[in-house]
Structure 1
Amino acid sequence: MKPATEIWYDMPELIAMLDRVRESGKGIYGHELYMESSRDGYKEEMYLDYSHNPIYKLDGAVWGVIGIMTESTQKVLNERRLKTLNKLSYQTADAESLKSACQIIMKALQNNQDIPYALIYLIENNKDPNTGFDSPVARLVATTFDEVCKEESIHEKLKRRIPDYFPETHEMIDLTKISYHDHDTYMEKYATSTYLFLRCDCWPINLVMKEENPIQVLLKDNSQAILLPIKLTFCNERNLSAVLICGINLLRKLDDKYMEFYKVRNYKIIKYLMYH
């Protein structure tokens, strides 16, 4: 038998609760208690439903504490992510253009635990003045970092504060001048899973468009992001491509359920953009 301080050494909040029961002789219970644990090789958020009660000796003194805990992490995550999806579904504001539609989406994703930040690049074809041919260009149209300037002289213009731990985040990227191979591969191992990330100097927009699959990127501060392709086909047979960049919650790994959330969220965004 080991003391609680050894078993739950990384959960000081739990130890404090057990001490409170032992000292007061009164039981406590609660739902969705937030804690952080390193059980899978990284610090992750977890939520617990709990009940802690004292065990008494014959003389009435507290001999120990019996604790019953049920993890409710997935329930909390599911409810939180469903709230995000519903928020996207309820976007009914009229957008004057595709750009303003993207800005509405970014505003809906601000201050989100599962999507710490987001950026969206629209892929356009610009005519090269030298060759006369169309060349693909990625244009950054909206981010969750965008703020409307309050100064009267620049009223309603956006200011954009991109974090310095990001890869190079250009407003415009000529995709004909970016190599598919300008990156290194990094492997991250957890206790129960392994993930592959790219390290790159700039966002691998070209690679996402080429492979038409999500790509995960490791940033300068070792946080993670995912790039997801978006394909739109309008009734006039006009096609449009975009790349959505999303931050990954530092306290969650990108497991199957998290990835499914991203895919459903992507579908909601595609559905919204189709009508603008």
Structure 2
Amino acid sequence: MLIRLYLYLVVSLLLGIGVLHLLPRLGEAGKKMGDRLCYAPGIDLALAYFMLLPLIVGSVFAQWQGVSIALLAEISSLWVWIIAHESLHKKPPANIHGTLSGMVGKWRNHLAVWITALAIPIFWFVRLGEIIVYPPLTWLIKLPKYEAKEWVNVSRQKFEGLIGYDLIWCLYCDWMTGVWSLGSEMLRNVESFWCPIRFYSDKKCENCQLDFPDIEHGWVSHQGTMEDVTKLLGEKYNDSQEQRPWFNHPSRKQD
């Protein structure tokens, strides 16, 4: 049963890959569909097919053993695609993994790359938070809405010279940076709305101010009072605002 499950998942994943490669060759409609799968919400559905659905199917049919089989099927399908893609495309004389392998050592570089894959569940949880947790806040307390497709998308497949191994990892980075950046933007709104108080540790303030600019340009000093905090909230948020972004957001022209 486990072997059949593995083969079924590998075939299903490879068929999915084949469909993605086929879409641009199906005329204008195919190209439009392919483009929609490159940004949210299309990319969420596409990646769920390749990453999450096999795990669900595996767990349903064989519980934890099935999850392991699903992960093996995903890795196998990925390597089949990498080998096929590099075989069908002329390899450029310069490539990312070859250059970095020369710097740090081949096995170190490849092992490090695969270790980064362990973070995939983290990015999925962040993405689910963006989809499930944040939207009610835009209705309840008027935090700003965002077009997820402007953040969560992939486009590095259009870069000339990215083949196989380099391409798949660049697409991974493409996706995760968009997911993380959108999550950070949402968190800036959450922090400034509910907790506009500087940290007691100056070092923490220094470390966090890049992601949370309001630390240095708006939040109340840790030596301040609750009156200072409530006064600040009254100044930054009021009923006339259509949206309530973090204090130094570009949309706050009056600030």
Q: TM-score range by the shorter chain?
A: under 0.3
Tell me which of the two structures has the higher relative contact order, counting C-alpha pairs closer than 8 angstroms and 6 or more residues apart.
2
Name the structure where strand makes up a greater proportion of residues. 1
Using the size of structure 2 for normalisation, the TM-score is: 0.24
Using the size of structure 1 for normalisation, the TM-score is: 0.23
Name the structure where helix makes up a greater proportion of residues. 2
Q: Which has the larger radius of gyration?
A: 1
